[in-house]
Every structure is written in structure tokens, then in C-alpha cells.
Chains A and B, each alone.
Chain A
Amino acid sequence: MTSIVDTSPDRSQTIAYQGIGKHYERGGERLQVLKDCTFEIPTGEFVSVIGPSGCGKTTLLNMAAGFTRPDDGSVRVGDTEVDGPSPSRGVVFQQYAIFPWLTVAKNIEYGLTLRANKRPRSERREIVQRYVELMGLGGFEKAYPKELSGGMRQRVAIARAYATDPSVLLMDEPFAALDAQTREFMQEMLHETVLQERRTALFVTHSVEEAIFLSTKVVVLSTRPSRVREVVDIPLPMPRTAESRLTKEFVDLRGHLEHLLRTPTTDAGRTT
């Protein structure tokens, strides 16, 4: 268990959740999803959020993305409070959400052709080329999404999110729709990319294994109304490889996190 306060000097990309509360109305019933939820994703770290289903993981991500507002508390990135979507916060969605009418290259380029982020043509071409290579999409630049597998579509979505050079990256179960094998491959690819790009990232997932493999810290949420139950440091050495999954530390961490998810929360067990 570690402190959740970022003490590093650079806080420019730190995502800070402070006292977040959120409820939904469902069939006339008030459903408190999040309650007094506080944690930080320090600049340059890769933090996963896991928790029982329906605990509000995606809601937390949507708040950082600017799609949803908290009832109570605030979400800040750097010094500014989030109050709407912004290209400085890249989002990768579970269902890919790449534009079906654009080719792979045009999808990656999309954000760079908008007024908010406009770049000259030569620079756009360079950026697209760079992420095409990084994401292993070479040879598919002119392909349309319908010609691609799920894994490739998600790589396009990740490349597109990176292309506008966001200061933070928010990923909402990006690999949930993929088969197990593709999933591991994508985790490794994302890990390599993150090591190269050094960007603050929030990653929401159901998979404990995925969270450990990718993250520097894992935030475990309690059952509804969710608070932060524990923030677990993942001190596995970088870069992580397929072998990392077999080490004793990895297996121990997995055991600990799975135990946290399985056991019901009591107030005494909560970390705030």
C-alpha cells in the first residue's frame, strides 16, 4: 500500500481525482456509484483502475475525458479543472470508434486536420508514418476499417489518440473485445509504446493480469458506492515482457489483487 499523493516535482500532467461523488437515476431509483473517491495519477505514470463490475470505473474515466461531470468533487489535469473534452486528453474507447469512412492513415491524421490541432501537410505525413510504424500498421495505410481485424482497429484508435500529442491518455477497456492471444500481443505493443512515449495514462480494465502487466500503480475500487480501496504499487522491472507474467512477484501481485476483488469491502478495510 502506498501513499496516493504525488510528491514528484512535475505535476503538469497529473490527473487528480478529489472527493468524487456520482449517482445515476435508474428507473426512478437513485444509484450512488461513486462516493468520496480520491486518488492521483502522477505525471508520467501508467495507472490502471480495477474494481467489481458496476463500480464506476468507466464513469471515472469519462470524467477525466470531459464527457461526464461529478456531482461532488473535482477532476484536475495539471492545474486545470476538466470541464469538457479536449485534444490534450486522448481517449481510446472499448468499441474502437474509428471512422469507418476514412482509411487507416486518414483516421490517424484526423485530429491533425482539425482547427484545434492543425499541422502542415508534411508534418502530418511524418506523424502518421511514425505511428503507423510504431503500431505495426505498415502496408495498411490505405485500408478501410472494415478490412481490419479487431486488434488492428484498436491499434488504429491508439495511433489516432497519440497523433494529436495529448498530455494524458485515457483508455477504457480497450482490449476487452479482443481474443486472449491478440489481447496479450496488444498489451505488449502498448507497453512498448508507452515506454517510448512516456505519457501519463489512465487505463480502465476488468483484467487483473492486464493491469499488473501495464501499470506502475493499480487503483482498486470497492463495491458500490465505490471509493478507493487500495492503491497497489507494481514494482516489476521495465521493460516488461511475456516472461514478466511468469515471475513470482507478478503471480503474488495477481494473488493480492484478486483477493481484494473477491473479498467484500468493510468500512474498516477501506483506504481513503
Chain B
Amino acid sequence: MTTVTTPSSTSRGRVALANTSSRIGLGILGAIIAVLAWYAVALSGIVSGEGVPRPDEVVRTGWVMITEQDLIFDLRVSMTRVTIGVAVGCVAALPIGYLLAWYAPLRAMAEPLVNFFRALPPIALVPLVIVYFGIGEGARISILIYASFFAGVVVLYEGISAIDPLLIRAARVLGANRWEVFSRTVVFASIPHFFTAIRVALGVSWATVVAAELVAAQRGLGTVINDAASFYRIPDMYVGIAMIGFTALVMDLILRLAQRRLTGWQEKSR
């Protein structure tokens, strides 16, 4: 395998990439540029007041938090919440996604509602959740389930309704009954969309975890950020934010690897 990047024009005029290693290389390059830009902002002092901590200060603070305040425990707590939220949300979104994709009248009825609820910022729901669900773990996770469900259901019904009708026709002329069209064709054709739904839900859940942990959480990365804000510890806030970003990135990578394994049959249209 060569690591030389050879961009080549595709028919649509976009620049395509030769291989995986060049993609990883460019990803790392992007991260380096971002860190350098961060240094530039931190050192230039253009941000007034407390200023912006340098990346190395944030890394040092992070190390202290890991060794002395058990930051990894916060990470695990948040990760567990997000995982449960995404799992429950997406499993609930799956049958609803199929129903909405399959029955046009149902979809016409539900689509405005779905978009209404999807647009609500989770932080706005926190007071209501406290009123109805209290301040326990269930209350926090319910916010994540909410966010995952609405993010996932949209991806699912859009994806499933875009399944090539020709494949369904082909199954029918080969003798598939309604159930077989679903279980032997639609289900397989929707696997890629299910993965996309999980990935989108995961992203939205991590973006929501800070709001969810406003519900009287004792530990968690969101709580770390919220507490740091209360005590005006700016580097700590950066550490919490960076940890969320990194964890989301790693979880997404793992999902993408699993997706590649399970849907290797898919044609790449990069």
C-alpha cells in the first residue's frame, strides 16, 4: 500500500482520495492544524478577560484530573448513560422508522411532529424532566433517549423509504410474499441506514450529555464541565469538553469499523 496522496478528479469534479492511509494522514494533519490554531489564539491574547489556556496547559490539567480526581470514572459514567440512551432510543426508533417509511399517510401525519420534537433543545426539557421523572439516573438517561430517538428515527425513515424499489420488485417476482419482502430484502437493505442512525444518535447524545447531567448528576463529564463553570476553573472546562469530543470520536470510529465489517457488500460512492 502506498502512502502517497494522489488526488484525482471524479466525474462530479470533486477530488477523490486514493486510499485509507492517505485519509488517516490527512485527518491527523487537520488535527495538527487545529491545535496550532488553538496555540495561536491562546498566545495572541485576542480573547480578553481570562483568556484561552494553551493546549499543553489543558493536557497537564487533564492529567491531574485523571490521577487525582478520577476523571476516568466520570468518563465511564457519561459513556454508560450515552450508550444506554442511544441503545434504547435507536431500538425504539427502528420499528417506528419502518412504519413511517412504509405507510405514507402515517408518515405525513408524523413528520411535522417528529421535526417539532427533534428541534427542541434538550436543555429546555430539563425542568420538565425533573418535574415528571425526578432527579434520578432514569431522569438523566430519559433525556438522552429522547435525543437519540428523534435523531435516529429521521435517519431511519428517510433511509428506508429511499431503498431501491427495484430490489423490492425483484424480490416479488421471485415469489417473495409480503413478510419475505420485508425480512429478506428490506431488512438487509436498511442495515446501512441503521448504522447511520446509531452514529447520528451517538453524536446527538454526546452533544446532549451536558444538559442531561444538569439533572442533579454527581459525576459525569457534563458534571465536570458544569462544576468547573461554577468554580470558574477554565482549564477544567476545556478538559471536560475535549474528553467528550475524543470519546465521541473514538466511539464513532469503532462503529464505522463495525459497519465496514457488516456491510462490506455495500458499494462505496465516496
Contacts and interface: CB of A to CB of B under 8 A. Distances in A.
Contacts of A93: 166, 169-170
Interface string B164-199: 101101111111110010001100110100000000
Contacts of A90: 173
A101 B265 CA distance: 5
Nearest to B263: A101
A146 interface: yes
Interface string A76-105: 000000000111011101010111111000
Contact of A110 (B174, B177, B189, B266): B174
User: Which size class do A's interface residues fall under?
Assistant: 20 to 34
B267 interface: yes
Contacts of B172: 85
Given A93-B166, A99-B167, A101-B188, A65 B266 contact: no
Interface in B220-270: 263-267
Judged by DSSP, the binding face of B is: helix
Given A101-B191, A144-B264, A146-B265, A115 B177 contact: yes
A114 B180 contact: yes
Interface in A86-140: 86-87, 89-91, 93, 95, 97-102, 110-111, 113-117
Given A100-B265, A114-B174, A114-B176, A95 B184 contact: no
Interface of A: 65-67, 85-87, 89-91, 93, 95, 97-102, 110-111, 113-117, 144-146, 160-161, 164
Q: Which 4 A-B pairs have the closest CB atoms?
A: A116-B175, A87-B175, A111-B174, A97-B170
Interface of B: 164, 166-167, 169-177, 180, 184-185, 188-189, 191, 263-267
